[in-house]
């Protein structure tokens, strides 16, 4: 039922592959949550359909470079426009990583995921603003070079964000352990100095460790009760599915994450995304898993649209549909995207 309507605008950016199908999932879910909670949502949609990795296959290097730069420039401007209009949230389906990392570097992005485990919580903060995934390519005959950069200022900004996020996660205690997983031995000792300076400035203890050391300790010791890992982009990218599987006991196909931005012009804008990729191989078949998308939509509705309880209601709906045996083929089921979404939204509506 409609209550007193409140206008809430949400951004939407769509990539190729299964992106258009998930965009429809997002919009339908947002409409349903708005109707149930009495919030009138409107969507500010980017006019561009962004490339996936597979949609660029078959193009030459110069064509790929032009296409990725075009996507990056347009998406960066889209985010800046949303932020300047006061929009607080954007939902984005998967797009080509080369374009995406250019935008993340320019907007100084950090990705956040909270992974709940038995007796412990991991706050994973991924530094997307600098490092080996950033930079641009230079081509010469038979070779391609990529120059990347780390800086004291960005390192401090990432740590400051992470420490503040940990204090919001655990307001009474903060994190009991903070680890940074970076290939710092490649940086002539500079990163170690910057981390020590920043830790002292923010009044926290930070253990800077090589990624293989962090991995070994996680395997041997597990998580501390309130653990935060600030991960270099490449380490956190590779390890995220492992961390979800080992500690969250959940597959990445069901998860979403949020990206915050440290650039002052877009600091108030959060980008929500599914953890899974564009899944071009199942494009148009109505079998892409909608769970991560509906979870992200519920989070946006609750946090940015005043739909208190939407997250919990969606989690209850997911639990109920799983108990009914309703799921897409990637989770061992035989149901379509549409059928799963129908079941989820029916549960949400009936619970209210």
pLDDT at residue 1, as a whole number: 34
Query: Terminal CA-to-CA distance of the chain, rounded, Å?
Result: 9
Task: Quote the pLDDT of residue 185.
Answer: 94
* pLDDT score of 7: 80
Distances (CA, A) of 332 to 145, 169, 247, 326: 42, 34, 21, 10
Instruction: Give mean pLDDT in consecutive 10-residue pieces for the chain, a chain of 352 residues.
Output: 63 97 98 95 97 92 94 98 97 95 97 96 98 90 93 98 97 96 95 98 97 97 97 95 90 91 96 91 95 98 96 97 94 95 96 78
Note the pLDDT of residue 352. Answer: 75
The rounded distance, in Å, linking the Cα atoms of 29 and 37 is 12
Q: Which fold has domain 109-253?
A: Isopropylmalate Dehydrogenase (3.40.718)
Quick one: pLDDT at residue 333? 93
- Phi/psi region, residue 24 (left: phi>0; alpha: psi -120 to 50; beta: rest), is alpha
Contacts 24+ apart (CB under 8 A), 140-149: 144/61
pLDDT value, residue 136? 86
CA distance 75 to 47: 10
pLDDT recorded at residue 245:
92
Nearest to 5 by CA among 276, 338, 347, 307: 307
Strands 143-147 and 136-140: antiparallel
Query: Tokens 């390519």 — which residue?
Result: 137
Question: Would you state the pLDDT for residue 2?
Answer: 39
- Please name the residue that has the structure tokens 């300047």: 84
Distance of CA 157 to the CA centre of its chain: 19
- Cα separation, 88 vs 296, in Å, equals 14
Q: Which two tokens stand for residue 165?
A: 């996020």
What residue ranges do the domains of the chain occupy? 1-107+263-352, 109-253
HEC per residue, 147-190:
ECCCCHHHHHHHHHHHHHHHHHHCCCCCCCEEEEECCHHHCCCH
pLDDT at 345: 97
The answer to whether domain 1-107+263-352 has CATH 3.90.180.10 is no
Phi, psi of 107, deg, nearest 5:
-95, 0
């Amino acid at each position: 039922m409609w209550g007193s309507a409140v206008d809430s605008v949400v951004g939407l950016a769509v990539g190729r592959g299964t992106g258009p199908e998930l965009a429809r999932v997002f919009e339908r879910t947002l409409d349903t949550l708005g109707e149930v909670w009495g919030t009138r949502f409107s969507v500010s949609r980017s006019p561009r359909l962004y490339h996936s990795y597979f949609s660029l296959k078959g193009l030459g290097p110069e064509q790929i470079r032009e296409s990725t730069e075009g996507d990056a420039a347009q998406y960066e401007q889209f985010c800046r426009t949303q932020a300047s209009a006061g929009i607080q949230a954007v939902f984005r389906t998967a797009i080509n990583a080369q374009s995406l990392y250019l935008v993340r570097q320019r907007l100084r992005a950090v990705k956040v995921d909270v992974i709940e485990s038995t007796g412990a919580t991991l706050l994973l903060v991924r530094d997307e603003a600098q490092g080996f995934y950033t930079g641009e390519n230079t081509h010469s005959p038979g070779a391609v070079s990529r120059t990347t950069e780390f800086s004291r200022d960005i390192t401090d900004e990432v740590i400051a964000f992470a420490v503040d996020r940990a204090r919001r996660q655990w307001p009474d205690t903060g994190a009991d352990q903070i680890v940074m997983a970076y290939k710092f031995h490649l940086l002539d000792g500079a990163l170690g100095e910057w981390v020590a300076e920043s830790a002292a400035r923010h009044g926290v203890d930070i253990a800077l460790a090589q990624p293989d050391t962090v991995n070994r300790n996680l395997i041997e010791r597990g998580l501390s009760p309130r653990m935060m890992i600030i991960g270099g982009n490449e380490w956190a990218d590779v390890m995220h599915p492992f961390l979800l599987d080992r500690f969250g006991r959940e597959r990445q196909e069901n998860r979403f994450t949020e990206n915050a931005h440290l650039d002052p012009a877009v600091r108030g804008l959060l980008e929500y995304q599914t953890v899974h990729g564009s899944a071009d191989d199942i494009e148009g078949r109505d079998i892409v898993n909608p769970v991560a998308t509906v979870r992200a939509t519920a989070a946006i509705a609750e946090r940015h649209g005043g739909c208190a309880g939407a997250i919990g209601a969606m989690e209850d709906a997911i639990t109920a549909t799983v108990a009914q045996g309703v799921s897409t083929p990637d989770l061992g089921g035989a149901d379509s995207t549409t059928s799963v979404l129908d079941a989820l939204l029916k549960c949400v509506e009936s619970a209210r």
